[in-house]
Amino acid sequence: MTLKFVGQRTARMEGPDKVTGAAMYAADYVLPDMLWGRILRSPYPHARIVRIDTAAARALPGVHAVVTGAQFPCYAGRAIRDHAVLAVDKVRFVGDRVAAVAATTRDIAEQALALIDVEYEELPAVFDVDTATAPGAPAVHEQPKSYAGAFSHPQEPNLPNVCAYMRWEHGELDAGFAAADRVFEHTFHTPTEHHGYLEPHAVLARVAADGRAEVWASNKSPYMLRAQLAACFGVEPTTIKLHNLHIGGDFGGKGSQMEAPVAYLLARESGRPVKLVMSYTEELMAANTRHAARIDIKTGVRNDGTLTAMQVHIKFNGGAYGAYKPLPSLNLHGADQAASCYRVPAIDIHSTVVYTNTLPGGHMRSPGAPQTIFAVEAQFDLMARALGMDPAAFRLKNVLQPGDASPTGAQWPTVRAQQTLEAALRESGYHERRGKEPNVGFGIAMYERGVVGGDSSCKLELAPDGRVTVLLPIGDPGQGTFTAVQQFVGETLNVPPASVQIRLADTDGLPFDFGVGGCRTTYAIGQTVLQAVAALREKLAPMAAEVLGCAVDALAWEGSSAHSDGRSVTLLQLAASAGETVSAQVYQKLGLFPDAPDTNFTAQVAEVAVDPETGQVTVRRITSAHDVGTIVNPEGHQGQIEGGMLMGLGLAVMSEHRMEDGKPVALHLGDYKIPCIADIPELRTVLLERDEGPGPFNCGPIAEAANVPAPAAIANAVADAIGAAVMELPVSAERVYALLQHTRRPRAA
């Protein structure tokens, strides 16, 4: 099929507003009589609140509300509501919310916080998954299964501080290990990581005397936030209107309620609009993060490199609360993808999310996958070297072939894992260049990713002058949905994409939408928009049939025209004759996962150089090969790939949100390291397009494809360069130097 607009390099429609400052973000909104809200946070990782005295704060001129958890014991969360809006009896991490104030200025609000006197009784705390799950460990939550939305698995282990547990098993594990010539067991660790989005969380709330509320928030899922606020405060969702806004970066971090419940409560109690804007110190102290993880893997393999069985135990550090995890199972997508690009006849995956007295873990760009893939791919390299095999040959021997099921039993219609891996190896020069320079290493990793769905809605309007407007229920944190919608509508109606206007609806303006995330927006919103085009044509069909003098079922639609017996009439002509705007609204109920699951493969090869004197790692090149469907916008598509690779590079070599006794060490971005322009290596991309894909015009996912395998590929490249196993991320200069010193120690006689 020849496409006119889909597949063309298209300018981002919201780009000019964002680069000129015209775009309005949550922190930019101001309402008459608005107050400023501020939050008093815990200095302790675990403590009982003995007493709170707010009298001096309430007496401060300019203060209009002071609220505590004892007054308002409300609990919020995406799936499980285990995080009190303000601590009711205990604080569970450094940065936990203790009290909040609303005042006429931000400075007065800060003064009021300083006047609140809190007496704490410190309690024993747990900071890592091993300590938290040890017998007799201090309980982060006394009765974690008592919270609304708590999840229990029938096979859940009897351990302290379990937030959630999931298990995936397929094949005969004992037989698989019995068939192995060798069995390898290793343990890997990955760190807590912050998203590093540009826009800190902000929220503005107004609650009227009749209880109706309006909220402007840095949130990518307004309908979900509306439901969370309603459940938290025991009101009907229809009493709360969420305004859809521009979002300044997300990567998973803008999907939770964050401080919206606090702003709602302050606005309700003060009777005035209240705005809360987190500083970046607060972001690093209190915002949800990527989960740190401990991954234990036991793998059986024959002497020729054939995998026979794998058992994976993952413990994710969930932090103090599960409230920031959206899935009802409270677990992380990605754990189930262990070795999913390879043939493993028998697999048993255990994933446990553990409560600790640290920052609450949330979703961050394929939330559990970088951790899992790093461990699996690092162990593959260790096994290959132990067997005397090249790491590439080991993977090529085990990579999925057409017709193979995934290790957990998924049967995908198209499997192009080997072609994708071979393309990455070829483009990177792996076979020709590896081993040719001292202290230079090459590493490989693979990932596969499908789309998710979730209910969606939109409205299409055709004005008498021919203008086409699409009303959408979600914002665009940067993935390019608005532009893709313009291209879809332009392609379907044969109008220039730039002429298609996009307008954001608030939650009163359209039915429910699941929100941005999980590689769903182009897939789900795209389908919904095409359904709206079909509904608009159906609405105009009687008018077109009358003009053409034919029956409705004799009409044929092509682009922007209806045809019958050699005659045609355009939508523009129909709209003009209608004399008013014609609209079609669609609400599409999509399952969270497509009925016919498909996936796309990614293979990456990293090349690094290591300074043997300092341990400094320089990433020279990342080659990323992608099995893709139709590319809607090549410019945006490539941006997703390169941005993902750089985010993966951050986790690989520098982005570690370190804690000391539960307190974040870095409290500003000068100390918390993310890649900058000076860190960008040569980036090479290979695209293997195919005519199949789950989305409109056969498009597929790309947003989370490049960031997941990059940490594993880079870590394996470092291990290749220094001749030592890398078992922990990030591979900072300090860690690499320690590994080099260990390998240089003289052997005992």
**Is 648 part of any domain?**
yes
Domain boundary among 588, 617, 636: 588
**Is 334 part of any domain?**
yes
* 619-643: burial string, b at 16+ Cβ within 10 Å, e else: bebbbbbbbbbbbbbeebbbbbbbb
- CATH number at 410 reads 3.30.365.10
Yes or no: say if 256 and 78 are a contact pair by the CB < 8 Å rule: yes
Confidence of residue 137 (pLDDT cuts 50, 70, 90): very high
Confidence of residue 579 (pLDDT cuts 50, 70, 90): confident
**Is 176 part of any domain?**
no
HSE toward the beta carbon, residue 77, CA cutoff 13 A: 23
Q: Are residues 113 and 83 in the same domain?
A: yes
Per-residue model confidence (pLDDT) at position 235:
98
Per-residue model confidence (pLDDT) at position 592:
78
**pLDDT cut 90: percent of the chain above it:** 90
Q: Are residues 403 and 460 in the same domain?
A: no
Instruction: Report how many domains make up the chain.
Output: 3
Q: Are residues 560 and 473 in the same domain?
A: yes
Q: Are strands 213-217 and 240-243 parallel, antiparallel or unpaired?
A: parallel
**How far is the C-alpha of 162 from the C-alpha of 152, rounded, in Å?**
10
Bigger pLDDT: 742 or 689?
Answer: 689
**Is 160 part of any domain?**
no
Per-residue model confidence (pLDDT) at position 593:
77
Q: Are residues 435 and 458 in the same domain?
A: no
Q: Is the pLDDT of residue 748 over 60?
A: no
Q: Are residues 499 and 632 in the same domain?
A: no
Q: Are residues 623 and 719 in the same domain?
A: yes
In the β-sheet with 440-449, what is the strand arrangement from edge to edge? 440-449, 600-610, 617-628, 682-689
- CATH number at 263 reads 3.90.1170.50
**Is 158 part of any domain?**
no
Domain boundary among 564, 588, 612: 588
**Is 239 part of any domain?**
yes
User: Average pLDDT over the chain, rounded to whole?
Assistant: 95
Q: Is the pLDDT of residue 547 over 50?
A: yes
Q: Is the pLDDT of residue 594 over 80?
A: no
Domain that holds residue 241: 26-124+198-249+254-286
**Distances from the Cα of 678 to the Cαs of 618, 619, 731, in angstroms?**
11, 11, 18
Q: Are residues 717 and 730 in the same domain?
A: yes
- What value does the mean pLDDT take over residues 485-496? 94
Q: Are residues 279 and 308 in the same domain?
A: no
**Is 726 part of any domain?**
yes
**pLDDT cut 70: percent of the chain above it:** 99
Domain boundary among 572, 588, 604: 588
Per-residue model confidence (pLDDT) at position 749:
35
For 561-570, how does the pLDDT look when each residue is reduced to its tens digit (9 = 90+)? 999 988 999 8
Q: Are residues 433 and 480 in the same domain?
A: no
Question: Among 415, 420, 477, which residue's Cα sits nearest to residue 444?
Answer: 420
**Is 304 part of any domain?**
yes
Per-residue model confidence (pLDDT) at position 596:
67
- What value does the mean pLDDT take over residues 23-39? 97
Confidence of residue 747 (pLDDT cuts 50, 70, 90): very low
User: What angle do helix axes 260-270 and 222-233 make, rounded to 10 degrees?
Assistant: 50
Q: Is the pLDDT of residue 578 over 90?
A: no
Confidence of residue 425 (pLDDT cuts 50, 70, 90): very high
Q: Are residues 492 and 569 in the same domain?
A: yes
Q: Are residues 403 and 304 in the same domain?
A: yes
Per-residue model confidence (pLDDT) at position 2:
85
Q: Are residues 408 and 472 in the same domain?
A: no
Q: Are strands 35-41 and 97-103 parallel, antiparallel or unpaired?
A: antiparallel
- What value does the mean pLDDT take over residues 588-616? 91
